Amino acid sequence: MLTPQMIDRLWQALQDTLLMVGVSAGIAVLAGIPLAVFLVTSDRNGIFPAPRLNRIAGALVNGFRAVPFIVLLVALIPFTRLVAGTTIGVWAAIVPLAVSATPFFARIAEVSLREVDPGLIEAAQSIGCRRWHIVRHVLLPEALPGIIGGFTITVVTMIGASAMAGAVGAGGLGDVAIRYGYQRFDTTVMMAVIAILIVLVCAVQFAGDTAVRRLRAR
């Protein structure tokens, strides 16, 4: 059985996980969508062609995506100190989580944006849309179901990645599972954490799927 202290600890850990994932997912959206739009529109055949910048951005995204999260967590410590003012705790984990999730999400959103029918862009140009009108009225709304689907994948991936945040003392569900479940052989805690994570991931996936279904039903 779980002791009341352990239930408290799990509750605290759930809150930490939600805070870490929530804030960094928010940052990933705010930074990832513009990055995805840039990757698509600055393409040679895009509406703001800038092939050189496009290649640089693409290489940067690939670079960040190549580094495993646990390595990024440590490698980014100086940057984290600069941004969050600390290198331990929840806020110290949010910085690397966001840095890792942004390029991941940007790549997924990029795929959806690229799938927007070029005929729609042509139609928008023919009715006198300026280029940013095309981004706002055509690219983003038309790609929205795909972007939301991609965001769901991103959040689930981030819930997984946040388990490693214990390495910088950020707490969270993964940290509880490692310290109590693994290192102290407390199988009950391990099972409880797994159960909570399963429910959490299912809830996120369900919310994402529902939103996508609603949008696609139009």
Partner 1 sequence: MTGAPAIAGSPARAAATSEARRKGGTVSFEGLGKVYRSSAGEVTALSDISLDIRAGEIFGIIGRSGAGKSSLLRTINRLEQPTSGRVRIDGEDIAGLDESGLVGLRRRIGMIFQHFNLLSAKTVRENVALPLRVAGVARDEIAQRVDQTLALVGLEGKGDTYPSRLSGGQKQRVGIARALVSRPEILLCDEATSALDPETTVSILTLLKDINRRLGLTIVLITHEMSVIREICDRVVVIEKGEIVEEGPVWQVFGTPCHAATQALLQPLENGLPEDLAHRLRDTARPGDETVVELRFAGHRTPDLTGLAAAAGGTVRLLSSQVERIQGHAIGQILVGLGAGARPEALGQIADSARVIGYVDATDD
Three-state SS string across 41-67, please? HCCCCCCCCCHHHHHHHHHHHHHHHHC
The piece of 86-94, 102-110, 135-143, 202-210 that touches partner 1 (CB under 8 A) is 135-143
Residues 104-133 that bind partner 1 (CB under 8 A): 117, 119-120, 122-131, 133
Q: What is the rounded distance in angstroms from the CA atom of residue 156 to the CA atom of residue 178?
A: 19
Place of tokens 């954490």: 193
Nearest CA-CA partner of 8 in 176, 202, 168: 176
Q: What is the rounded distance in angstroms from the CA atom of residue 38 to the CA atom of residue 114?
A: 11
Interface with partner 1 (CB under 8 A), residue from 109, 113, 138, 148: 138
Q: What is the rounded distance in angstroms from the CA atom of residue 107 to the CA atom of residue 189?
A: 36
Closer residue to partner 1 in complex, CB, 81/130: 130
Nearest CA-CA partner of 68 in 145, 212, 167: 167
Q: Which residues contact 128 (CB under 8 A, 6 or more apart)?
A: none
CB of 42 to partner 1, least distance (A): 17
CB of 51 to partner 1, least distance (A): 15
Interface with partner 1 (CB under 8 A), residue from 9, 65, 114, 137: 137
Residues 142-171 that bind partner 1 (CB under 8 A): 142, 144
CB of 145 to partner 1, least distance (A): 9
Closer residue to partner 1 in complex, CB, 184/216: 216
Closer residue to partner 1 in complex, CB, 139/159: 139
Q: What is the rounded distance in angstroms from the CA atom of residue 29 to the CA atom of residue 143?
A: 14
Q: Which residues contact 170 (CB under 8 A, 6 or more apart)?
A: 16, 20, 88, 89, 90, 92, 93, 162
Closer residue to partner 1 in complex, CB, 98/109: 109
CB of 83 to partner 1, least distance (A): 35
CB of 126 to partner 1, least distance (A): 4
Place of tokens 């996980």: 17
40 near partner 1, judged by CB under 8 A: no
Which residues are near partner 1 by CB under 8 A? 117, 119-120, 122-131, 133, 137-138, 141-142, 144, 215, 218
